[in-house]
Amino acid sequence: MDTKTKAGAGALPLNTILDGDCIDEMRKLPDCSVDLVFADPPYNLQLKGHLHRPDNSRVDAVDDAWDSFASFQTYDQFTRAWLAEARRVLKPNGAIWVIGSYHNVFRLGAALQDLQFWILNDVVWRKTNPMPNFRGKRLTNAHETLIWASKEEASRYTFNYEALKELNDGVQMRSDWVLPICTGHEREKDENGEKAHPTQKPQSLLHRVMIATSNPGDVVLDPFFGTGTTGAVAKMLGRDYIGIERDADYRRVAETRLARIRKYDKAALEVTRPKRAEPRVPFGQLVERGMLRPGEVLTSLNGRHAAKVRADGTLVADDVKGSIHKVGAALEGAPSCNGWTYWCFKRDGQTVPIDLLRQQIRAEMQ
C-alpha cells in the first residue's frame, strides 16, 4: 500500500480506505485538510414498499402521512450530519461534488445551501445507455444530477477552464455531460462473477470531475467509497485519496482494484494552463527592450483609434494618458479593455496585436 501522510496536515491517512461509518471516520480527520470531496451517498430508494427506521425496525404503513414525512426527516438528518463533517474537513478553498437522482438530490441540494456551501453548478450526467422504462408509465430516467459547490461563497475554488475546454474540442464545457454508464470490463465483479456494487460510477465521470476541479497532488476524500472509482481515478491522475467504506466486501474489491492501478506519467498529467497563470509581463518592458519605440503609434484593433507610446510604458491619445488598458477603455467608452489584444503595431506591413510581443518575451523566459 502506498500510504503516506501529508506534511503539516496532522496525520492524514492518504491513499487508504478507512473502515467505518463515514460520519465517525470524518470526525477523526483534522479541520481544513482536504481539497475536494466526491460523494455518492445512498439514494434513499427504499421509500417505496419497505421503509426502515434508523434502528432498522420496519415501518408498516407507507401511505401514512406522518411516516412518510418522518422518513424524509431521517434522511435529512443523516445528510446534514455527513455534509457538516465534510465541510469541516474541507480547506477554505475546497469544493464538493455530490451525485444523486430525483429521489434524493433535492434533499442534498437544499442541505448544501442551508449549510452555507455555495453552489457553483448543477451538472447533468446524461447516460447514453440508460435502463429503459419497461412499463411505459414514465419517461426513461436517463440522467443523474451532480452538484458542484464550494465550501463558502468567498472560496477561491479550483476550476481548470482551459483543460475542460480542450476536453470538449475547443468550446467551453457545458453543464450537461454525455457519458455511458459503467459496463463491461470496467465493472468490478465479485468472487461469483456478479457485479460487486449496484451503482458503480464510470471512471469517465470521475476523470472529468477531477480534471475540472482539482490539481495533481490534491487530496480527494470520498466518504461513500464503494468499490473505489474515486480512488482509482485519483491514483491514475496523481491525486491522493482518502476513502471511507463500512462494507467489508466493497473494501476488499476496492483494495484489489487500487493495487492494479498505475499513475499516468507526469507529462500526460499536465493540462492546458490558463493565461492568468503565465508570468506577468509589464508593457513597459516592451519599450525598455526596444521592441516598441517611444513615439511609435499604435492603432486599435477596429482601426478607429490611435495612441502614441511614451518612454515610461504609458500611452497618450487625445486627452487620455495611462496604461494600455485604461486608454483603450476610455477611447471605447467601455468599463474595461484588455490592451494586449486591443492595440496593434505594424510589422512587415501587417498590423498585429502587441500581445505577439508579450508571447515572444514569455517564450524567452522558458
Partner DNA sequence: TAAATTGCTGAATCGGAGA
Partner DNA sequence: TTCTCCGATTCAGCAATTT
Instruction: State which of positions 288-307 bind its own copies (CB under 8 A).
Output: 288-290, 293-296
Cα separation values, 126 from 63, 145, 174, 198, Å:
32, 9, 12, 19
* 133: contact with DNA by CB under 7 A: yes
Q: Interface with DNA by CB under 7 A: which range of 78-86, 101-109, 211-219, 303-311? A: 101-109
Tell whether residue 46 is a contact of DNA (CB under 7 A). yes
Query: Helix axis angle, 105-114 relative to 65-89, nearest 10°?
Result: 50
Q: Which of residues 250-279 bind its own copies (CB under 8 A)?
A: 264-265, 267-272, 274
Cβ–Cβ < 8 Å for 283, 323: yes
| Footprint on residues 9-38 left by its own copies (CB under 8 A) | none
Strand partners, 316: 308, 321
- Binding test (CB under 7 A) with DNA, winner from 26, 29, 51, 206: 51
Is 357 within 8 Å of 292 (Cβ atoms)? yes
Q: Does 303 bind DNA (CB under 7 A)?
A: no
Interface segment toward DNA; rule CB under 7 A; list 90-98, 136-144, 292-300, 346-354: 136-144
Kindly tell me which residue out of 5, 73, 77, 113 binds DNA, with binding defined by CB under 7 A.
Answer: 113
Cα angle 220, 221, 225 (rounded to 5 degrees) comes to 120
Cα end-to-end span (Å), the chain? 38
Is the CB of 11 or the CB of 131 nearer to its own copies?
131
Considering only residues 80, 207, 252, 257, which one is a binding residue for its own copies as defined by CB under 8 A?
207
Beta-carbon-side half-sphere exposure of residue 50 (alpha carbons within 13 Å): 3
Nearer to its own copies, 8 or 295 (CB): 295
Q: Residue 48 — φ and ψ, nearest 5°?
A: -60, -95
301 with 344: CB under 8 angstroms?
Answer: yes
Residue with Cβ nearer DNA (55 or 319):
55
Q: How far is the CB of 75 from DNA (least distance, A)?
A: 9
Helix (H, G, I), strand (E, B) or coil at 354: coil
Q: Are strands 297-300 and 306-309 parallel, antiparallel or unpaired?
A: antiparallel
Count of residues that bind DNA according to CB under 7 A: 79
CB under 5 to 8 A by kind: which of its own copies, DNA, none does 32 bind? Answer: none
Binding residue (CB under 7 A) for DNA from 8, 49, 290, 349 = 49
Q: Is 203 in the site for its own copies (CB under 8 A)?
A: yes
Q: Which of 10, 20, 69, 119 binds DNA (CB under 7 A)?
A: 119
Minimum CB separation of residue 345 from DNA in Å reads: 16
The full DSSP string for 30-44 is PSS-EEEEEE-----
Stretch that binds its own copies, among 23-31, 84-92, 137-145, 188-196 (CB under 8 A): 137-145
Among 171, 248, 363, 365, indicate the residue that binds DNA (CB under 7 A): 171
**Quick one: what does residue 61 bind among its own copies, DNA, none, with the CB cut-off 5 to 8 Å set by partner type?**
DNA
Q: How far is the CB of 318 from its own copies (least distance, A)?
A: 12
44 counts as binding DNA under rule CB under 7 A: yes
Query: In whole angstroms, how close is the CB of 11 to DNA at the nearest point?
Result: 30
**In this chain, which of 3, 56, 192, 350 binds its own copies, going by CB under 8 A?**
56
Distances (CA, A) of 307 to 291, 303, 324, 349: 16, 11, 9, 19
77 binds its own copies (CB under 8 A): no
| Contact by Cβ (8 Å): 182, 202 | yes
Query: In this structure, what C-alpha cell is assigned to residue 51?
Result: 421503509
- Nearest Cα residue to 295 out of 307, 304, 285, 286: 307
For residue 97, what is the enclosing H or E element? strand 90-100
In this structure, are residues 322 and 328 in contact, taking their beta carbons and an 8 Å threshold?
no
- Number of Cβ within 10 Å of residue 155's Cβ equals 18
Q: Does 280 bind its own copies (CB under 8 A)?
A: yes
Scanning 8-16, 23-31, 116-124, 238-246 for contacts with DNA by CB under 7 A, the matching segment is 116-124
